[in-house]
Each structure stands twice: as structure tokens, then as C-alpha cells.
Amino acid sequence: MSSVVLRREVGFALRRPGLVLSVAVVVFVLLCAVAPELFTAQDPIAGVPAERLQGPSAAHLFGTDETGRDVFARVVHGAALSLRATTLAVLVSLVAGAALGLLAAGRGGWVDSLVMRVVDVLQAVPSILLSLALVTALGFGTTNVAIAVGIANLATFARLMRAEVLRVRSGVYVEAARAAGVRWSGVLLRHILPNSIGPVLVLATLTFGTTVLEVSALSFLGYGATPPTPEWGSLVAGGRSFLATAWWMTTFPGLTVAAVVLATNRISRALDGERSQL
């Protein structure tokens, strides 16, 4: 039985190598975020001035920066802060957007109209510009960046949740629950919400990659963590002045962001495809 399972798993890996590689990238980044000491013993904050601006080598895989800090160590330790901000942003979008969509479709009438007009306003402004405006109002910091990005992206979640609730609420089991005397709030929470949340969760995985980009972009602009705390966007920004002489300072953090975005998008497409076949 074990040999059959092994052959099946090997066959799956050979048929979908891109998906397997994407999962490996995500697992590696998650391990970096949870236990960075597994991959590097270098201090991401303290540098060695005598080793400043050294290129990639066996001692420093991604080279060193202008103060002699190991770039690989800073990328690895920066995974925790960047992924924490991205996860918080997606959760804000998911929870707030789903709540607004559920409220709009559940109550209907003027409540639906009011919520949808607010969603229209949010959707009319490009998300990066709205994020910039919000983080300027909230103040600098990784948490504020995550909240700003989450609010800027909640409109899509609200619209999808509203559409799913309107679809599910016409089901026979919903009408049966209402006929049995269940309160409308109970029907929403016990019957409609569990059967509507699936596509919204898939949307959360689909937007994870773009959220990584937006969080990194705001960090690149200086709205994220205060230096010298490592964060992927700020690492790319910190190497701009050394592109001609120390290309590795921006290249490797940038490639890390690109790899995470591509990997999460590949996994999201696979999940969406599996859901569509159900």
C-alpha cells in the first residue's frame, strides 16, 4: 500500500512540478518566519564594518550591505514581519468585507444601498492610493500598513460575500428554517454564512500574493517598520543607492518578494481549480 501511495505522489509531482515548487517555496518562507535560526546564525541588525559591501559568497549567500550586515540573514528575519503584515491585511479584508456583505444582503433595503455605496467609493479609488491615504492618517508602522491595505481591499470581499448570500438565501433549507420559526439572525449565522463563506476564503488565498506586493510597496516607500528592523520592502529601498556597486542588496530581497507572490498565486489557482470541479 505504501509503494502505491508513493508512486501516486511521485506521479502527481511529475505532472504538476510548478505547484510542488510553489508549495516548497511557501513552506520555506513560513519556516523562515517561524524559526529563522534554522537557516542563519548571523545577526540581522548588527554589522561588521570590515565586511561591508561584500558580494555573494559561501560566508554571505546574499552578500552584505553598507554596514556589513548579512543580507541573507536580513531577508530571512524579515519574512516574519512581512508575512505577519500580509496575513493581518488579508484578515482585515476578509472579516470586514464578509461582515459588510453579509449585513447588506441579510438586511436589504436602505442598509444594502448604503453599504454598497460605501463599497463603490472604496472600489473607485486604486487600492495603493487608498492605502497611502489611510496609512498617512493612521501613522507609520507595520501594523498600520497592514490595516490600511486590508481596508483598501475589502470592497471585493464585500461584493462577493453579498452575491453569495443572495444566492444561498433562496435555498430550500433556508426557507425550511424560516418556516420552522428560526429567527433571521440565526438563519444567517447557522445556515447562510457557512454555505456562503467558501468562495470568499478562496478569494483570500487569491489576493494573498497581491497583498504581499502592496505591503512591500508601502514598506519600500518608508511607511513600514523603523530601520534597522528588516522588512522586505525596506530592504529593497535600502539598496537603491548602491545599485551600481552592490546590486545584490536590492536583487535578492526583490527576488524573494517575486518568488513568494508567484508561488502563492500558483497555489491559489490550483485551489480555485479544485473548487470549480466540486
The whole-number pLDDT of residue 172 equals 66
Task: Kindly report the pTM of this predicted structure.
Answer: 0.85
Going residue by residue through the chain, which has 278 residues, state the pLDDT in tens, using 9 for 90 and above. 455 444 554 454 456 777 888 889 999 999 998 998 989 888 888 888 888 999 999 888 999 998 889 999 999 999 999 999 999 999 999 999 999 988 888 787 888 889 889 888 888 888 888 898 899 888 888 889 999 999 999 999 999 998 888 887 776 666 676 666 667 666 677 777 777 888 888 888 888 888 999 999 999 988 888 878 888 998 998 888 888 888 999 999 999 999 999 998 888 777 766 555 55
The radius of gyration computed from the CA coordinates of the chain, to the nearest angstrom, equals 23
Q: What are phi and psi of 70, to 5 degrees?
A: -75, 120
Residue type, 214: E
Pick the CATH number of 81-277 from 3.10.20.30, 1.10.167.10, 3.65.10.10, 1.10.3720.10: 1.10.3720.10
Q: What's the gap between Cα 188 and its chain centre?
A: 28
Distance in angstroms (rounded) separating the CA atoms of residues 258 and 253: 9
Q: Is the peptide bond before 230 cis (omega within 30 degrees of 0)?
A: no
> Long-range contact list for 189-192, CB < 8 A, 24+ apart?
192/102, 192/106, 192/165, 192/168
Domain boundaries, given as residue ranges, for the chain: 81-277
Q: Which residues of 200-235 are buried (b: 16+ CB within 10 A; e: fewer)?
A: bebbbbbbbbbbbbbbbbbbbeebbbeeeebbbbbb
Q: What pLDDT is stored for residue 76 in this prediction?
A: 94
For residue 9, what is the enclosing H or E element?
A: helix 2-15
What lies within 8 Å, CB to CB, of 106 at 6+ separation is 165, 169, 184, 188, 192
Give residue 90's pLDDT.
93
Say how far apart CA 93 and CA 210 lie, in whole Å: 13
The CB density around residue 173, as the number of other CB atoms within 10 Å, is 12
pLDDT at position 126:
86
